[in-house]
Every structure is written in structure tokens, then in C-alpha cells.
Amino acid sequence: MRLLFISFFFLSFSLLSIAQIDVAYKVEAAIDMQTFTLHGHVEITVRNVGEHPINELPIEIWPNAYQKKGTYLAQERLEDQKIDLNFGNSLELGKVDSLNFNATIYFDNVKSTSIDFSSFNSGELYVLNLDQPLNKGNYAVIYTDFRIELPSSHFNGFGADEYSVRLSKWFPRISGFEDSTFYVCHNNIERYSLLNKSSLQVSLAVGKETNVISSIAASKSSLAKNNKIYFFRIR
């Protein structure tokens, strides 16, 4: 029996915490080490704690950085005279499926039944445009399932190879918000992040034969059929 590893990185190398919005993530996910597929569900609660109204919520989908020639990651590799990302096959580049965003908006803690949003997908960025502004004290709860065929780790060290998976920024995340402006952080070589004040709860199911190495300690683990489930929390 071969030994498989998952490295799990919750934080990037360069961080700047800002306090225009509070964000809470709840993630339930599982990894199939036979197909190197990550699938699950994420719930994102975004509360406006600043003075400026919010009319849109940009959501970063970093695994999509491998999919299009015009992404920051692809451009950086071209500048380094590396063309492998542009000509990689479908198995090497991976794929993001099953993103279906739904949102509920709460005004003064009262659920709104009239809010719709439109989404704009441009590679690694989805923008949810609200038809009413999110003012101070109001919040939005966003839901989506996701399924990711992980890309090869050959390109920038993150993704899958025959014996291991290295994950970083693998689930949908709200872009950094500062001075009433959202700043998109792209998946690139430097992997810089402008972070919102946030909390994180994650449950990750993996095969019993798989070892998990994380940048933070798991709060607990449990067994379920043929899987081991790890629980992580950042407040």
C-alpha cells in the first residue's frame, strides 16, 4: 500500500489584515486521492462593518488560474519563457466544476426575499453584483457547491502529483476590501494576499491511508466508514 500525503496551507506568505468587512467561511470538503478530485460545499458570510456601502462581492477562484492563457500565472510563466501552462493537457490543468452561487441578504437581521444577483465569470474571478447595496451592519450569506479536478503541481508547486496533494486558497474566497474598494489577489508566483478579517471552519474527509500535513493543527479528527475527517478552525 502506498502512502499518500496532503499538505494543507490556510494562509499565504504575505498577509495584510483589513477591517472593512468581516468574513466567515464554513467549508465541508473531501479529497479523492484516486482521481485527485476535491469536492464539497462552502458557506460564506460577509458582514459590512465599515461606513461605505457594498454593491458587489468579488469571489476569487484560484484553481481557474490554470485554465486560460490570459491569467496572471500564465503571463508570469511566459515572461520566464515557460510555455507549459499554455499547452498543458486537460489532466494537467485540472478543472473547476459545479459552481452555482446562491445568496441571501439580511438587512437589519431580517432576511430579504427580493434580492437577486448577477454573476460575471472571468477566469479566476466571479463578481456577484447586488441589486441593493449592503450597508453598515448588513450581511450576505453566499452558498455554492464546488468540484475541482486538481491541476498538476508541476506548474507552481500547488496541486497534485502521483503521491501527494498541496492545497492553498483552494475554495472560493472573497477578495480583499480596503478603503471602499475591492482588491483582487490573483494566483501567481508571489501568491500575495490582501486578507479580510475572517474566521474559518473546515471539515476535510480523506482516505484512512492518507496523511494530512497542515499549516495549522487540526482541532480534532474522527473516523467515518473508510475516511478520516479532519476539523480545522481559525478565529
Burial degree of 232 (CB within 10 A; 0-12, 13-18, 19+): buried
Residues forming a β-bridge with 145: 41
- Given a cut of 90, is residue 202 above it in pLDDT? yes
pLDDT of residue 193: 61
pLDDT of residue 17: 46
Q: How confident is the model at residue 114 (pLDDT cuts 50, 70, 90)?
A: low
**What's the CATH architecture for 16-198?**
Sandwich (2.60)
Give Cα 156 to chain centroid, integer Å: 17
Q: Are strands 139-149 and 37-48 parallel, antiparallel or unpaired?
A: antiparallel
pLDDT of residue 192: 59
Percentage of the residues of the chain whose pLDDT score is greater than 90: 19
Q: How far apart are CA 123 and CA 120, in angstroms?
A: 10
Give Cα 14 to chain centroid, integer Å: 17
Average pLDDT along the chain: 80
In angstroms, the Cα distances linking 233 to 66, 121, 198 are: 28, 29, 11
Cβ–Cβ under 8 Å, residues 59 and 173? yes
Q: Are strands 125-134 and 173-174 parallel, antiparallel or unpaired?
A: unpaired
Q: How confident is the model at residue 123 (pLDDT cuts 50, 70, 90)?
A: confident
What is the residue extent of each domain of the chain?
A: 16-198
Burial 101-115 (b: 16+ CB within 10 A, else e): bebebbeeeeeeeeb
Percentage of the residues of the chain whose pLDDT score is greater than 70: 85
Q: pLDDT by residue (tens digit) across 64-99?
A: 877 766 677 777 777 777 777 767 777 787 788 778
Q: pLDDT by residue (tens digit) across 146-165?
A: 999 888 888 777 888 888 88
Burial degree of 226 (CB within 10 A; 0-12, 13-18, 19+): exposed
Residue range 114-129: average pLDDT?
71
Q: How confident is the model at residue 41 (pLDDT cuts 50, 70, 90)?
A: very high
Biggest CA-to-CA distance, the chain: 57
Q: Which residues of 74-226 form beta strands (DSSP E)?
A: 95-97, 102-107, 110-111, 117-122, 125-134, 139-149, 159-160, 164-168, 173-174, 176-178, 181-183, 195-207, 210-214, 220-224
Cβ–Cβ under 8 Å, residues 63 and 147? no
pLDDT of residue 14: 36
Q: How far apart are CA 198 and CA 168, in angstroms?
A: 16
- Given a cut of 70, is residue 18 above it in pLDDT? no
Q: Which is nearest to 46 in space by CA: 19, 24, 28?
A: 24
Q: How far apart are CA 101 and CA 61, in angstroms?
A: 12
Determine which of 55-69, 83-97, 181-195 has the lowest per-residue pLDDT on average.
181-195
pLDDT of residue 1: 43
